[in-house]
Chain A
Amino acid sequence: MTEPLHEPQLALHVEDLTVSYEGKPVLWDIDIDIPPGVMAAIVGPNGAGKSTFIKSVMGLVKPTAGHVRIFGRPYAAQRRRVGYVPQRSTVDWDFPTTALDVVEMGLYGRLGWFRRPGKRERQAALHALEQVGMQDFLDRQISQLSGGQQQRVFLARALVQQADIYFLDEPMAGVDATTERAIVDILHRLRAQGKTVIVVHHDLQTVRSYFDWMVILNVRAIAQGPVATVYTPENLRKAYGGQIALIERSTFADDAAPAGGGRD
């Protein structure tokens, strides 16, 4: 722990990050800074490298160049302060286990080697399931949950981590409107507690109402900052190219209406 802190005032500091798969760069020379206490959306077209970005922050893929700091320290030194919700489709939901069991997995890092989860872990998991409104499904086999319920279980698993900064990969993809509302409410509550929430988000329409910070990504970091200044047609066009015509008409048309962004 003798290493000096680097940019400790930032929740997330990414500098010169380059990631490539089989020699093909997926993220190219990215600098991203996210201050603590914001709820940030990471947007960009399919294949822009959003998941790869989260994975390289979490140490799941090895960057070719660059460094990542969380509250001034490398990820490996800050694991306990980070919560993670992977994309739902990355696991096999037919795995023989229950909702409660999955949530308890969030505590495995804290438990340490060889120790099994006990009463205390069960209580924490139950509490997290209550927070996401899944207390009635704790013993349900996970394959028998709907997509939205599975997503809530994943969120609960991150909640038991009691982190200071959360990374979520498309938590609102393919869920029903009720679940989306519930997830947004929980994330807003986390932000109100001063936590930093970083979300890969696929729906440009809702960025302004849900988030206060925004990063636009497409292999390069195109723009970043408060949603109000970053959410512009030029920035979005740079990331989405031709696809933007559709989005523009539907989202900038209602510019007259209050965006409802910022903190509620």
Chain B
Amino acid sequence: MLALLGDYTIQTVAMGAALLGISSGVLGCFAVLRKQSLLGDTLSHAALPGICIGFLIAGSRDIGTILAGALVTGAASALVVLLLTRMSRLKTDAALGIALSVSFAIGVVLLTHIQGGGNASQGGLDSFLFGQAAAILRGDLWIMGGVTLSALALVGLLWKEFKLVSFDPGFATSLGLPVVALEVAMTTMVALAVVVGLQMVGVVLMTAMIVAPAVAARQWTHSLGGMVTLAALFGTMAGVSGAVISATVRGLSTGPLIVLAISAIVLISLVLAPGRGLAWASLRRRRDRRRLAGRQVLSTLYGLAAEHGDQGYRAELGALDTFHGTPTRQTLQQLERRGLVAPVTHAPETTPHWELTKAGFAEARRIDDAPEGDDR
């Protein structure tokens, strides 16, 4: 394992994956909070024509030109979406969908054109579809690192502005913030994150890297700072573990592994995160259901006691079961533990009976008097 980490290529891939995790994690948070998860998808698919154009301009697989091309067409597609939604009745999701498919189609056409052209260095180009981590060079890390660092610096500088525009753009406008410019900045940053990840996971899976870390992080924290930090952490964890696994097992490509790793983190977060996780919600529901059953049984006993004019009326278990249409023994035992009911016998019958204790009687009366949903 340690020997693995000493390997130069693996180091490079792992560092690239970590950079990807940080940038897409941080920038994805703002996209997700602004309900623009699809934006990452559109931007990354729209990068493909840019990659091809960059290649055509440079005449070779020059990474700087290619990424610049990706950034330009990605940003152009975002602009088209903005114009489409402003100038027509098209809703954002429809506009994003259109921009995605049109630009991806153009990208694929260009790609096949280049591949038919017989240029010797074209070989690497389709690796941008699904990513090819092994092709990353040390020099590429500088570009990725530079992009990540400048995005982080921008987020740090404009932290409160980005927060307010994401939360309440109307109020931000009323304060005089240039909301459109700030939104364009946030969108551009997502395009930057896409560019950082292109070589690693490719245009098709890149959207997962934008959305997934943010979604997972949101489950665990109540503050924006916490969310952004956790998203960066989750992104890095997924990136590095994907890189290391693909290095240990032959024939597994890095990009998809990274996406699978972040998906696992999302799954765990959705189920287990305290408060918001599904497991907790189901626990809470079970507790609520138990409490409701308890209240219903108490109030049945109370009603029976009132009907018979006898506070200590002993109700037969079978009768209670029939009345509620479900076994009530467990509920009664829980109420007994709270000291609200007591098991009794009622000679000459031998079947189990239950009666309200004093506390149970008082509690039942309280429930009876209280209006619906008083204890929220």
> Which residues in A have some Cβ–Cβ distance to B below 8 Å?
22, 55, 58-60, 76, 79, 82, 84, 86, 90-92, 95-98, 101-102, 105, 108-109, 111, 113-114, 116-117, 141, 157
Contacts and interface: CB of A to CB of B under 8 A. Distances in A.
B157 interface: yes
A111 B164 CA distance: 13
Contacts of A82: 174
B158 A79 contact: no
25 contacts: A58-B170, A58-B174, A60-B174, A79-B174, A84-B171, A86-B168, A86-B171, A90-B168, A92-B167, A95-B33, A95-B166, A95-B167, A97-B163, A97-B167, A97-B222, A102-B167, A105-B163, A105-B167, A105-B168, A108-B172, A108-B175, A109-B176, A111-B160, A116-B159, A141-B222
Q: How big is the B interface, by class? A: 20 to 34
B177 A108 contact: yes
A84 B163 CA distance: 18
A55 to B, nearest CB: 7
Given A86-B170, A105-B164, A105-B171, A98 B176 contact: no
B9 interface: no
Contacts of A79: 174-176
Given A95-B167, A97-B224, A109-B175, 4 more contacts: A55-B170, A79-B175, A91-B168, A157-B171
A60 B223 contact: no
Contacts of A111: 160
A96 B227 contact: yes
Given A114-B158, A116-B159, A59 B89 contact: no
Contacts of B33: 92, 95-96
Most buried by B among A84, A92, A95, A157: A95
B314 interface: no
B330 interface: no
Nearest to B29: A96
B161 A113 contact: yes
Interface string B168-186: 1011111111000000000
Contacts of B168: 86, 90-91, 105
B45 interface: no
Nearest to B173: A60
B23 to A, nearest CB: 20
Contacts of A113: 158, 161
B226 interface: yes
A249 to B, nearest CB: 28
A95 B228 CA distance: 13
B78 to A, nearest CB: 21
A38 to B, nearest CB: 21
A230 to B, nearest CB: 28
A55 B170 CA distance: 8
B221 interface: yes
Contacts of B221: 96
Residue picked from B157, B160, B177, most chain A C-beta under 10 Å: B160
